[in-house]
Amino acid sequence: MVNARDCARLLLETLPIVRRGVREAMRLQKVPVHEPLTMDQVRLLKILRHESHSLGELATRHGVTASTMSRSVDILVRRGWVSRTSDPADRRQVILQLTDGGRGAHAEMDQHAEEAITLLIEELDDLEREKLFSGLEVLHALLERKQAEDAGLALAGGGS
């Protein structure tokens, strides 16, 4: 019987391999003239896809200084994928937003990564694919449940 620690170890061993595979798929994406993106920059596009954030918020979220975050964002701004504007309420704050071009680029990257992973998973037989899918469904449900619980605790704690 497999215990929780064995599952945790396998997951922690697997995630970096998956990240490297996705990163390699992104690297192989033919984007002439552009310098390659880091996985952090790809994550920034994903975060900004949902809502605008200040440079400071993103720096805090990633555990880096504002100047380090600014350098990461510079490439995205030069490509026209992210816009910087001053916060009207506090001109010292820089607000970052995904542009239409950034939305399109992010969608294309997601599609490219999905295609690369699909090709890999197609190497599995039907039974292996079913097992993988079932396991991922269980993990996804667990993480969503935990996220909902954490959000509930944050709301309960915030009202005190």
User: In terms of domains, do 63 and 134 share one?
Assistant: no
User: In terms of domains, do 93 and 128 share one?
Assistant: no
User: In terms of domains, do 133 and 94 share one?
Assistant: no
The answer to whether 82 touches 98, Cβ cutoff 8 Å, is yes
Containing domain of residue 143, as a range?
Answer: 124-160
Say how many domains are in the chain.
2
Residue 133: predicted pLDDT: 96
User: In terms of domains, do 105 and 142 share one?
Assistant: no
- Backbone φ and ψ of 29, nearest 5°: -65, 130
- Secondary structure letter of residue 37 according to DSSP: P
Buried b (16+ CB within 10 A) or exposed e, 127-143: eeeeeeeeeeeeeeeee
User: In terms of domains, do 16 and 83 share one?
Assistant: yes
pLDDT tens across 2-43, in order? 899 999 999 999 998 888 877 777 666 654 445 667 778 888
Residue 26: predicted pLDDT: 66
With residue 16 as reference, give the H or E element that holds it: helix 4-28
User: In terms of domains, do 132 and 69 share one?
Assistant: no
User: In terms of domains, do 130 and 102 share one?
Assistant: no
User: In terms of domains, do 149 and 82 share one?
Assistant: no
Q: How far apart are CA 73 and CA 93, in angstroms?
A: 15
User: In terms of domains, do 86 and 137 share one?
Assistant: no
Residue 32: predicted pLDDT: 46
pLDDT tens across 107-127, in order? 888 888 888 889 889 999 999
Q: What's the whole-model pTM score?
A: 0.70
Residue 21: predicted pLDDT: 79
| Closest by Cα among 33, 11, 25 to 142 | 11
Token pair listed for 106: 């992010």
Q: How far apart are CA 131 and CA 156, in angstroms?
A: 38
User: In terms of domains, do 112 and 131 share one?
Assistant: no
User: In terms of domains, do 118 and 132 share one?
Assistant: no
Q: Does residue 138 surpass a pLDDT of 90?
A: yes
Q: How far apart are CA 84 and CA 154, in angstroms?
A: 30
pLDDT tens across 49-89, in order? 989 999 888 999 888 898 889 888 998 999 999 999 887 88
The answer to whether 72 touches 38, Cβ cutoff 8 Å, is yes
User: In terms of domains, do 82 and 155 share one?
Assistant: no
CATH assignment of the domain containing 16:
1.10.10.10
Q: Does residue 160 surpass a pLDDT of 80?
A: no
